[in-house]
Amino acid sequence: VIAIGQPEHSVVTTCAYCGVGCSLKAEMKGTEVVRMVPHKNGQANEGHACVKGRFAWGYATHKDRITKPMIRAKITDPWREVSWDEAIGYAAAEFRRIQAKYGRDSIGGITSSRCTNEETYLVQKLVRAAFGNNNVDTCARVCHSPTGYGLKTTIGESAGTQTFASIGQTDLIMVIGANPTDGHPVFGSRLKRRVREGAKLIVVDPRRTDLVDGPHVKAVHHLQLRPGTNVALVNALAHTIVTEGLVDEAFVGERCEREAFEQWRDFIARPENSPEATADITGVPAEDVRAAARLYATSGNSAIYYGLGVTEHAQGSTMVMGIANLAMATGNIGREGVGVNPLRGQNNVQGSCDMGSFPHELPGYRHIGGAEVRAQFEAAWQVQLQPEPGLRIPNMFDAALDGSFKGLYCQGEDIVQSDPDTQHVAQALSSMECIVVQDIFLNETAKYAHVFLPGSSFLEKDGTFTNAERRISRVRRVMPPLAGYADWEVTLMLSRALGYEMDYAHPAEIMDEIARLTPTFHGVSYALLDARGSVQWPCNEQAPDGTPTMHVDTFVRGKGKFVITKFVASREKVTRRFPLLLTTGRILSQYNVGAQTRRTENVHWHDEDRLEIHPHDAQERGIETGNWVGIESRAGQTVLRALVTERMQPGVVYTTFHFPESGANVITTDSSDWATNCPEYKVTAVQVLPVQQP
């Protein structure tokens, strides 16, 4: 990054990349950002930031930004730049035409975890009040929807239980399916610091990440399981705890539903759940599982941190509940230093879920079928709401292919690149009659769009993000929107054109409405956030200062509920044709589909996705580091360069997915979580063979 001058003033805002939610200071010269530095009083980051937050903000003024609305009648036509009035009027007329022809439920909307709470709230309000249905979903569908389901079912709230600072009290850290060094770097550093201070570390991961044996910390145990066997492993850990008398009987007796616990205990004690019986499934030696379980149950304060390696599976929700079972059985929940801690991928995954982006839930995770809560929103919004849940994203695709879903408003989300089985997504989008994409760049999804509405980056708007520890932080506008309007204003215009007036002069007023209608947000306001820096929900009459640790005296649902977690093997099995399992992850300098980071200097650190393969598998195929390899699955094929490394176990290959040309989601399949439809990105049976340079 080249500094373009000395700063004249600065604005405190929140990083728009990962779920750590670092507070940053944009140092400005006029309306130009000179540099981005970590805010030393940031409550989530304590004065630290990573290479994404610090250096990867230049995309905001990149030449690829689209700043004029565009329309086209057919996706084969060239784009035509038009005024905002014409673009919004065209989109609204098309949506109404489609509904008149195909019915009220033939259109829907997708909210983004990249956008602010206020913007997400408005999109779901638009769908429910102006579209008149519940066909709204969020990109959290493809990452942490099992967290929402699993934690709501077991402990009563769809959110992590702790504050990041809580790790300072932790004696034993178990990291499952997460690589915080790359995915959540500032928290990853905090975790390593705690290990260096003496906390023990267990890593559960198919890949040998740097937490296992990196330069800074070493894990006591690395349970290097096969992809797709999480639930068998968590059951084996629980089996050890139950059969070796390590259950915290006092905690369970006082805090949990007795009958459900006893049923779970009887199930988990069965011989088929023992470490010995499951070793053939997981590939993890029984003695390692037993030792890890003993350590987790007896170390004092034990905390579990998990990521997408838990959720993005056909049994993602089951695994989240398995983790909650472990924490409850050992009394490791409800105080500092312990807990169940999902490491959220995107900056506002937590917030987009909180704001009612799911087709079955209004803001605050209240089911749309509840007459009382629906009446509350009907009175506030002056509309009648539909009581039946709407379509999830994959259901929208299916409905598009059967001809009943024809129009989509997609804000800040590139579903073509980020959702699995790209061919299926493309076919579904091709069969729709009006797709409105609102984004800062012409992304892959825009190739199928009829209306393009220029989006605004986090530097161009006011609002709030909510991080992985439920911390609500202010996003502050540091420069005017390049296209003239912030995303929230565009949604207002679209709603108005559809005949449903929404009237807010500033995002603070949207937050005031959220606070009025959402019990866990009753105490939240911009005034409070400006005064305190941030606050963790629930923040209301009972908790005016917010809630760093949840479930302290009682679980949100009352008594904690153990759930039986039967292991079911993934549909993706190795065969002679597809003898390897592909799993996916992230790298430090890049972010998700790379739309932003690829357009910054960070690309110098990492300019392509590579296929990591174990030396044994590489040698068998005549592959060396740097060779081009073809990867084929049941869904499709792509080509990458290979990286031969012992970080992989034999039989398992791995890639990141930051570059569209690598086409990782061309090969992932449509297999998904049984409860939430979260895609099974982490398990794909593939063949890998050398190919010529494409």
Q: Supply 194's token pair.
A: 């705690």
Residues 583 and 682 sit within 8 Å (Cβ to Cβ): yes
CB of 224 or CB of 597, closer to ligand SF4: 597
CB atoms within 10 A of CB 382: 10
Rounded to the nearest whole angstrom, what is the least distance from the CB of residue 506 to ligand SF4 in the complex?
A: 25
Contact 110, 408 (CB under 8 A): yes
CB of 308 closer than 8 Å to CB of 143: yes
Residue 501 burial (CB count, 10 A): 11
CB of 87 to ligand SF4, least distance (A): 32
Which CB atom, from 114 or from 184, has the smaller least distance to ligand SF4? 184
Q: Work out how close the CB of 53 gets to ligand SF4 at its nearest, in angstroms, rounded to a whole number.
A: 2
Q: How far is the CB of 287 from ligand SF4 (least distance, A)?
A: 36
Q: Which H, E and C letters describe 141-198, residue by residue?
A: HHCCHHHHHHHHHHCCCCCCCCCHHHHHHCCEEEEECCCHHHHCHHHHHHHHHHHHCC
Tokens of 123: 């999109």
Structure tokens given for 416: 């073509």
Closest distance between ligand SF4 and the C-beta of residue 185, in Å? 5
The CB-of-124 to ligand SF4 minimum distance in angstroms stands at 24
Q: Which long-range contacts (CB under 8 A, 24 or more apart) does 21-25 make?
A: 21/45, 21/347, 21/465, 21/466, 21/467, 21/468, 21/469, 21/471, 21/473, 22/48, 22/49, 22/50, 22/53, 22/186, 23/473, 23/533, 23/534, 24/49, 24/53, 24/54
> CB-wise, 13 or 278, nearer to ligand SF4?
13
Residue 185 vs 420, nearer CB to ligand SF4: 185
Longest dimension (CA), the chain: 70
Choice between 226 and 606, CB closer to ligand SF4: 606
3-state secondary structure of 254: helix
Q: Which one, 126 or 349, has the nearer CB to ligand SF4?
A: 349
Q: How far is the CB of 165 from ligand SF4 (least distance, A)?
A: 15
Cβ neighbour number for residue 578 with a 10 Å cutoff? 18
Nearer to ligand SF4, 229 or 590 (CB): 590
What is the per-residue DSSP string for 272-315? GGSHHHHHHHH---HHHHHHHHHHHHHSSSEEEEE-HHHHSSTT
Of 228 and 345, CB closest to ligand SF4: 345
- Output the smallest distance, CB 199 to ligand SF4, in A: 20
Instruction: Work out the burial of residue 174: count CB atoms within 10 Å of its CB; fewer than 13 is exposed, 13-18 middle, 19 or more buried.
Output: buried
Q: How far is the CB of 235 from ligand SF4 (least distance, A)?
A: 33
Q: Which helix (H) or strand (E) holds 513?
A: helix 507-517
* Closest separation in Å from C-beta 114 to ligand SF4: 12
Which residue ranges make up the site for ligand SF4 (CB under 6 A)?
Answer: 15, 17-18, 20-22, 45, 49-50, 52-53, 184-186
Query: What is the nearest approach in angstroms of ligand SF4 to the Cβ of residue 50?
Result: 3
Would you say 53 or 227 has its CB closer to ligand SF4? 53
Q: Which is nearer to ligand SF4, 188 or 454 (CB)?
A: 188
Contacts (Cβ under 8 Å, ≥6 apart) of 142: 312, 393, 418, 419, 420, 678, 679, 681
Q: How far apart are CA 563 and CA 491, in angstroms?
A: 41
Query: Cβ(144)–Cβ(311) under 8 Å?
Result: yes
Of residues 185 and 560, the one with the C-beta less far from ligand SF4: 185
Residue nearest to ligand SF4 (CB): 53
